[in-house]
Amino acid sequence: MTQTDPTCIGRVSHVVGATVTVRLDPELAGVAPLWRGRLQPIGQVGSLVTLPQGPVRLLASVTLVGISELAGALPPVDVVQTGDRWLRLQLLGEVDAVGRFQRGVTSYPGLDDPVHFAEPELFARVYPPHSTSHVRIGRLAANPDVPLALEARRLVTRHSVVVGSTGAGKTSTVASLLQKFVREGWESANIVVIDPHGEYISAVRDLASVRSVTGDGANALRVPYWALPATDILTALTGGASTNATLVNRFIELVAEQRRQYADACGWLSDSSTVTADTPIPFDLHEVWHKLDYDNNATVTKKSGGTDCVIDSGDPRSLKPAKFTPHGPGGTPPMQGPLYGRFGTVPGHIRWRMRDPRFAFFLKPDSQTLDHDPFIEVLDEWLGGEKPLSVLDFSGVPSEAADLAIGVVLRLLFELCLRSTPEVGVGRHRPVLVVMEEAHRFLAEGSTVRVARDSVNRIAREGRKYGIGMMLVSQRPSELPETAFSQAGTVIAMRLTNSADQSRVRSGLPDTLVGLAEALPSLRTGEALIAGEAIALPSRVMIDAPHPAPHAADPGLEGWRGAPSIEGLQNALAKWRGLETEE
């Protein structure tokens, strides 16, 4: 082959749809030719090559590298060829005569058409720099001189996933993106980070509002029960336990009554006639519990027209149940009340939940706030107030309680965006991005309460229309809901060694790009395969390191040296119990 262009590396030998096989120039030394004093890594999976077609240049990505006699027969030829080195390419897009890049191709190469490695000048046309519309994420792995930025609007509103095995760099990738959003001009962003381990606080402490379920005062995370519809409150309080229709109807009746009482008493609502059991205003849950428990245990002097046989009326605020004279045997007085035993153990379960300190976040703020709307304060806390980032720290909370809290936060943020307008509020006016770390922990099929799972699936299906997007971060993509994963417009896949997880990532890529997923097990720490709507072309990227770094590094073994001790156990036990101890 006579080579006149120093960038030419070979010629087309097969074309099957968008898949092209290239026979490398026999005189080409290796698969990394030297050009302008630098090696061009054309033999690396994911590197780019070009195929001139008149004034248009087709762009393709390398998906396979091989030698003919080792690879067997190459489709569409059944005969094993020998002596050739080859590349398999996937056509991705084209650069027109005026230098504009677009995905997809309008023409296909012919046999023996020359193939060139992509020179650096071409990358500037394909990969836009970070700007008011693009946020930088790293550098092209095949060419470290080329910065790579993601289109912010598509990344936020079209959903995304960040997946990778433990230690691959997921948390650092997300932390780097969060820092770039704030430092590159998005000071009014609405980014809510669901952080189950408290890893992001060190990375964004100066940029974010941080609230914790176990925090106190201004640092406390409040997730009010009364913001949910009545049936959802009952599900949360019973842990998903089976409930009968009589109980549900009575609970709805009592909640509606208590909401209307609050509306009549507060100073910021003018009309209680439209209040229902699902209106998101405060009500006294203690009174609802007390009446349920009262009905469930009441005995009466006679079935019709009798009076209640109350020994002690109890106290709703202290969760003290009422006591009654036991019913008589064989239908003798006192009689069982009309709802005696109809609610089973549910009132007791609700009382236990309300007394459990792990669920204290669910009971604040209560119905004692009468002079203003407390929901505005809660939502403002979730969205970070004047900060562009908000970290909701769920570390140290049992999975069941965290599932409930996260589900409530996601559901209410969606409802807020749903009811906002394009001109004011959040949502379409100021989109919300929810970043969910360790997503598989709350969204897997085995989730008990399922509030979080249902909320994520709803955001995945409908969030784009109302300006709420999500970024799911997980080391087990195979355990993420199919609905949520399939709706992710951008996939950031780091090193994955589990075959089931690799298969899930492949399912999220177009059929033409599945070959790139073969590189997943061999990606370096901090390197990712990025594909989807937020990036011009599927690419292997070295992610920029965050500064400061999140608290996600592997622990060291320095503590294994020296004399053993049991220091620090007292503090750990105090945090576990949620109690203060004397110094």
Q: Span 460-486, mean pLDDT?
A: 92
Q: For residue 372, what pLDDT is reported?
A: 87
320 pairs with which residues across the strands?
Answer: 315
Picking from 25-39, 98-112, 368-382, 387-401, which range would have the lowest pLDDT averaged per residue? 25-39
434 pairs with which residues across the strands?
Answer: 192, 470
Q: Tell me the per-residue pLDDT of 184-240, one tens digit each, with 9 for 90 and over.
A: 989 899 999 999 888 999 999 889 999 988 777 778 888 898 988 898 889 888 876
Which of 13, 150, 151 shows the shortest CA–CA distance to 81?
A: 13
Q: What average pLDDT does the structure give for the chain?
A: 86
Q: Tell me the per-residue pLDDT of 421-458, one tens digit each, with 9 for 90 and over.
A: 888 889 998 999 999 998 988 887 765 557 788 889 99
15 pairs with which residues across the strands?
Answer: 20
Q: For residue 34, what pLDDT is reported?
A: 66
113 close to 12: Cβ distance less than 8 angstroms = yes
Query: Using 50, 70 and 90 to split pLDDT, how confident is the model at 279?
Result: very high
Which of 415, 322, 399, 393 shows the shortest CA–CA distance to 359?
A: 399
Query: Using 50, 70 and 90 to split pLDDT, how confident is the model at 469?
Result: very high
Assign 396 to helix, strand or coil: coil
State how far the Cα of 491 lies from the Cα of 484, in Å rounded to an integer: 12
Alpha helices by DSSP H, 494-565: 499-507
343 close to 295: Cβ distance less than 8 angstroms = yes
State how far the Cα of 530 lies from the Cα of 539, in Å rounded to an integer: 5
233: Cβ–Cβ under 8 A, 6 or more apart, which residues?
A: 225, 226, 255, 285
* Residue 82 scores a pLDDT above 60: no
Q: For residue 145, what pLDDT is reported?
A: 83
Query: Please, what sign has the CA dihedral across residues 189, 190, 192, 198?
Result: positive
173 close to 135: Cβ distance less than 8 angstroms = no
403: Cβ–Cβ under 8 A, 6 or more apart, which residues?
A: 442, 447, 448, 449, 450, 451, 452
Residue 301, CA distances (Å) to 240, 298, 304, 307 in order? 35, 10, 9, 6
* Residue 399 scores a pLDDT above 80: no
State how far the Cα of 418 lies from the Cα of 407, in Å rounded to an integer: 16
End-to-end CA distance of the chain: 82
Query: Using 50, 70 and 90 to split pLDDT, how confident is the model at 568?
Result: low
Q: How many CB atoms lie within 10 A of CB 448?
A: 11
State how far the Cα of 314 lies from the Cα of 291, in Å rounded to an integer: 11
Query: Using 50, 70 and 90 to split pLDDT, how confident is the model at 271?
Result: confident
Tokens of 358: 């792990």
Q: Burial letters for 340-353: b for 16+ Cβ neighbours within 10 Å, e otherwise?
A: bebbeebbeebbeb
Tokens of 206: 């100066």
State how far the Cα of 179 lies from the Cα of 123, in Å rounded to an integer: 25
234 close to 385: Cβ distance less than 8 angstroms = no
341 close to 328: Cβ distance less than 8 angstroms = no
Give the 3-state DSSP-derived string for 153-171, with helices as H, strands as E and coil as C.
Answer: HHHHHCCEEEECCCCCCHH
